[in-house]
Amino acid sequence: MGRTLAEKVWDDHVVRRAEGEPDLLYIDLHLVHEVTSPQAFDGLRATGRSVRRPDLTLATEDHNVPTLDIDKPIADPISAAQVDALRRNCAEFGVPVYSLGSRDQGIVHVVGPQLGLTQPGMTVVCGDSHTSTHGAFGALAFGIGTSEVEHVLATQTLPLKPFKTMAITVEGDLPAGVTAKDVILAVIAEIGTGGGQGYVLEYRGSAIRSLSMEGRMTICNMSIEAGARAGMVAPDETTFEYIKGRPHAPQRADWDEAVAYWSTLRTDDDAVFDAEVVIDATTLSPYVTWGTNPGQGLPLSASVPSPSDAKDEVDRIAIERALDYMGLEPGMALRDISVDTVFIGSCTNGRIEDLRAAADVLRGRRVSEGVRMLVVPGSVRVRLQAMEEGLDTVFTEAGAEWREAGCSMCLAMNPDKLAPGERSASTSNRNFEGRQGPGGRTHLVSPQVAAATAVAGHLASPADLAPVA
Amino acid sequence: MEKFIVHSGTAVPLRRSNVDTDQIIPAEYLKRITRHGFEDGLFSAWRQDPDFVLNRPHHAEATILVAGPDFGTGSSREHAVWALQDYGFAVVISSRFADIFRGNSGKGGLLTAEVEHAVVEALWEAIEADPTLEVTVDLEQREVRAGALVAGFDVDDYVRWRLMEGLDDIGITLQYADDIDAFEAARPSWKPTTVAVI
Ligand code: SF4
């Protein structure tokens, strides 16, 4: 019987297999950041162990870093201590680290791909759930806990029980104005935040094939929001084109050998998935979330749901709670929801293509009076590229704030936060209660919808805006 | 990890059930960056009360915690195990443990010995009558002994083997270092490394 893409990558990394025991899997790339690594390094110190492959390990500072005045010491003592600990640990154990101020610093899931470190068929782990992003290259990439981080540091392997596989096929042409973010919000609304539990999702179909690498990363990134361990897209010409010429891409003869191998990384025609979901791309439209989990999303043209629409009692309570927290009334048009803040950034939508899309909407327009708009590039390289293209000027002329790279308001560990009761349209991935600051209310949207919302002052798509004079 | 064959020490009777990991160590301690030193967070809310059993001087040196059923429920934080160990506990005895907590304990080297609830009751009474009572937890025999009391306990076979061999997860994997070497030797040379390219 044929094998799925995930099974092929898994099989190629089995170091040891024994009856009744988990497989021991080799890890090709271990990404590290300041929040989940300190205890792992401390554990190594306590047991006198070293990092087996510092050359397959890469650290960057992202979760805690400020996006203003980055040449000054970090003001928050906890953030400063975590960043400091990362620097000391990396120095002690010989792990390369891209610190604040480095040209390669940025969100861990933006840095790996942009350096060409994330390649098809690899196993990639990080102490961070959105490691699933790297699956866009046909890598098996998933988040791990702190003791697993220590395990990988010490052994470059992980004992793991196999995951189940689920095919998510998105077939047909995406209508104009519909982005990767809308696709994944629609998928999560369809299968629910627990629908992917225990699975690796493989995104397939013509709509997925037509997406750029940035779009595929946006989709794989949010696999975790459907409860999945990982998301994957089989590598193709788009993938190879993206990797070619990047700093860590294979060169010359190695390139040909690599591409030959990568080309084998697709699900066999006779392979069987444990579950399958099919979505008709032609029916999709811009999606926004109205509630407090990423599964509570609807087309922008819809209205806020009512608890009486619930399919069962659990759902009814969830809707009630979400409406209460979000301060929304059932039946209100989603387009009538006004926001105070617009955030463009994060490992979901903080890449160059996302900034270009937002800038295209803002060019010649102004951010609405009373709306604060933050544009936070996912990495320093994205930031520099955007400036080279003059996007920073587009943002600042429109009245948005152009910031330094990092996770920023995606999780509000740094000073970029919503005040209690404030409402945002955000291109990030989690709209949990308090995620962007205690009491803050988040609507997840695509970069295009975020930019249009900034201009309109309420949830809107670019098509809703008056043409630029 | 040190080998765990037999452990003897004094014990603390914690007459509470459903001790969740938020009680074992509150969330505020999770911001720390060290792997050790969590003893101050252990049961920190309860320890505000001078009468709380852990605050009694004759239990200061105890290494065995005897608790009510459903110990370790709630969030999966590994810090709960670390806090118990940092405080000095080598064993928790209860009639039922939460799954994730038991898993984390096995990984961290803290023995969770599952006994009949009647045994917990008998231990509580015996320890309260004589706080200096020596309690022995014999992992080889799967037996708890305290004065006249002798009772069997349950522990996962794999965890028992690991504790007796003194192996943590990493220690076990390192036994297969040859397999890892062989795998690495066969990896394609073009696989990327993180060494900076100029
Ligand atoms: S951008 Fe947000 S989701 Fe992504 S790694 Fe940072 S905090 Fe996590």
A423-426 β-sheet, strand order? A401-402, A372-375, A341-344, A423-426, A441-444
Is B157 part of the contact surface with chain A (CB cutoff 8 Å)? Answer: no
Residue B27 is predicted with a pLDDT of: 79
Strands (E), chain B: 6-9, 11-14, 64-67, 91-94, 111-114, 135-138, 143-146, 149-152
Q: Which residue carries 């919503």 as its tokens?
A: A418
B198: confidence class by pLDDT, cuts 50, 70, 90: low
Residue A413 is predicted with a pLDDT of: 87
Best mutation site among A410, A414, A417, A432 for ligand 1 pocket (most ligand atoms within 8 Å of CB) = A410
- Cβ neighbours of residue A401 under 8 Å, at least 6 residues apart? A372, A373, A374, A375, A395
Alpha helix ranges (H) inside A156-298: 180-191, 206-209, 213-221, 237-243, 252-262
pLDDT tens track for A344-381:
999 999 999 999 999 999 999 999 999 999 999 999 99
Q: Is the Cα torsion angle B128, B129, B133, B136 positive or negative in sign?
A: negative
A199: three-class secondary structure by DSSP: strand
Question: Inter-axis angle of helices A352-362 and A380-388, to 10 degrees?
Answer: 40
B48: three-class secondary structure by DSSP: helix
For an interface test with B, give the residue of A12, A13, A14, A15 to mutate (most B CBs within 10 A): A15
- pLDDT of B1 > 90? The answer is no
Measure the CA–CA gap between B125 and B13, rounded to whole angstroms: 8
Residue B100 is predicted with a pLDDT of: 78
Nearest to B162 by CA among B112, B120, B127: B112
Contacts of B78 in chain A (CB under 8 A): 145-147
Measure the CA–CA gap between A370 and A388, rounded to whole angstroms: 29
Contacts of A122 in chain B (CB under 8 A): 191
Q: Check pocket membership of A382 for ligand 1, CB cut-off 6 A.
A: no
Contacts of A157 in chain B (CB under 8 A): 173, 180
Cα of B163 to nearest chain A Cα, Å: 16
Cα of B34 to nearest chain A Cα, Å: 5
pLDDT tens track for B125-152:
999 999 999 999 999 999 999 999 999 9
| Single-letter amino acid, residue A297 | G
The complex's ipTM?
Answer: 0.94
Measure the CA–CA gap between A439 and A418, rounded to whole angstroms: 8
Taking CB atoms and an 8 Å limit, are A157 and B173 in contact across chains?
A: yes
Pairing of strands B135-138, A441-444: unpaired
Angle at B60 between CA B59 and CA B62, to 5 degrees: 65
Residue ranges of chain A with per-residue pLDDT less than 70: none
Residue B168 is predicted with a pLDDT of: 86
- pLDDT of B76 > 80? The answer is no
Radius of gyration of chain B (CA): 20
pLDDT top residue among A280 and B169: A280
What region does B74 belong to: left with phi over 0, alpha with psi -120 to 50, or beta? Answer: left
